[in-house]
Amino acid sequence: MADFTKKAIKESFIKLLNEKPISKISVKDIVTDCKVNRNTFYYHFQDIPALIEEIVTEQAEELIEAYPEIESLEKGIEVATEFAIKNKMVVFHIYNSANRDLYEQYTMRLCKHVVTKYLEVAFKDVEVSDEDKELAVRLISCSLFGFVYDWLDSGMSEDRPADIKRLCEVCRGIPDIIIERSRN
Amino acid sequence: MADFTKKAIKESFIKLLNEKPISKISVKDIVTDCKVNRNTFYYHFQDIPALIEEIVTEQAEELIEAYPEIESLEKGIEVATEFAIKNKMVVFHIYNSANRDLYEQYTMRLCKHVVTKYLEVAFKDVEVSDEDKELAVRLISCSLFGFVYDWLDSGMSEDRPADIKRLCEVCRGIPDIIIERSRN
DNA sequence: AAATCGGTGTTCGAATTTCGGACACCGACT
DNA sequence: AGTCGGTGTCCGAAATTCGAACACCGATTT
């Protein structure tokens, strides 16, 4: 079965995300929007964070699917950043619509999620320990978060390509650091 | 409940309509496309003609909803034609994808359906008998059909506005004829 | 301070929907 | 004559959706 109801719930959530800050979105809002019973929401999802989790996971997978060969970390970050900004990436929606309140944590968490997924591909032929992978995730997701943060904060100026380049330059050093660290 | 599955079946059908002639679309194709059980199709619809019937009815209602005040028949035809051509009107899809085979009847039937719906609004303040309404429907739907036919046949040239104007001029006379006829 | 209100998350059983697996039937093609 | 693919129908089982309750919490009102 194809779970059209579940899909509709997700779509309603994303739709509402464009209309109001995430902190104001209730389960009731969602089920009202897509006209299903409130229990149906709870049948499919634990709660709203779980819903978000699933949306993000899904979109991260979509992301990987769209770019199956990520030959370099730089390329990976570039693509991830582009995707996050240009497409329906929930990270962006959440941050953008949250009125700069306490949802930065969310954004952070989501960045981490995406980067983790990404590095699974980027690191697939590189021998590094799980701890080092964890470190890379933390460093890069912080960069990604900071990048999106800055960009939004500066009124979403159009010099994104330059910004991406700068971000990539910073991140390019990271694998070296990781490998260096692996040797000790 | 919001019948997401039913909706998905309709969407799959419309999607397939863009890919192959309607005569080649099987129930199996539809359920394969939207990944539901074949029985689920039969749970919602009698058969493919019934599915089409429902899609068309729905879109005709959408059409009316979008333009609640149709002050003149001319306006009605213009809007109907515009809608049929520019939007997702199934008439068009069917005709366009049917490889000019025996599905003109279908197109005809569908044109009739839309025009009927339209005239319910257009005629709501005019006193004409049911027979005369029937006559108007036949005349106008023939025009609409002929118009779409010609337009497609000429390679969908871009002089549509002129064509629409011409069509409207022809149809503008119809109410007069109907009213004239009503008097006898 | 107590009451009200709106939202959460859970439970239950009933109703609806979807499913897989059969079946006979038909028409085209071999 | 037999195979193949599609149709339309049946069944019972499984999954999903539903309404109606409930206790709980926090904010707002009285």
In angstroms, the CA A89 to CA A96 distance is: 11
Chain B's closest residue to A4, CA to CA, is B4
Nearest nucleotide to A42 (CA to C1') is C9
> Which residues touch A157 (CB under 8 Å, ≥6 apart)?
A151
Reply yes or no on whether the pLDDT at B37 is more than 80: yes
Provide the pLDDT for residue A29.
Answer: 95
Q: Who wins on pLDDT, A97 or B62?
A: B62
Summarised one tens digit per residue, pLDDT across range B80-131 is 666 555 444 444 444 444 333 444 455 566 666 667 766 776 666 767 777 7
When pLDDT is cut at 50, 70 and 90, the band that residue A42 belongs to is very high
> What integer best gives the mean pLDDT of chain B?
70
Provide the pLDDT for residue B39.
Answer: 96
Provide the pLDDT for residue A9.
Answer: 96
DSSP string across B51-71: HHHHHHHHHHHHHHHH-----
What percentage of residues in chain A have a pLDDT greater than 70?
46
Chain A's closest residue to B4, CA to CA, is A4
Can you say how many angstroms the Cα of residue A64 is from the centroid of all Cα atoms in its chain?
A: 12
Provide the pLDDT for residue A102.
Answer: 39
Q: What tokens appear for B162 in the block?
A: 């002129």
DSSP code for B24:
G
pTM score, two decimals? 0.68
Task: Flag whether residue A39 sits within 8 Å of chain B, measured between CB atoms.
Answer: no
Q: What tokens appear for A73 in the block?
A: 């970390």
Mutation to test the A interface, candidates B1, B3, B4, B37, most A Cβ within 10 Å: B4
A70-96 in b/e burial notation, b at 16+ Cβ within 10 A?
beebbebbbbbbebbbeeebbbbbbbb
Task: Flag whether residue A9 sits within 8 Å of chain B, measured between CB atoms.
Answer: no
Bases of chain D within 7 A of a CB of the protein: 5-12, 15-20
Q: Who wins on pLDDT, A52 or A121?
A: A52
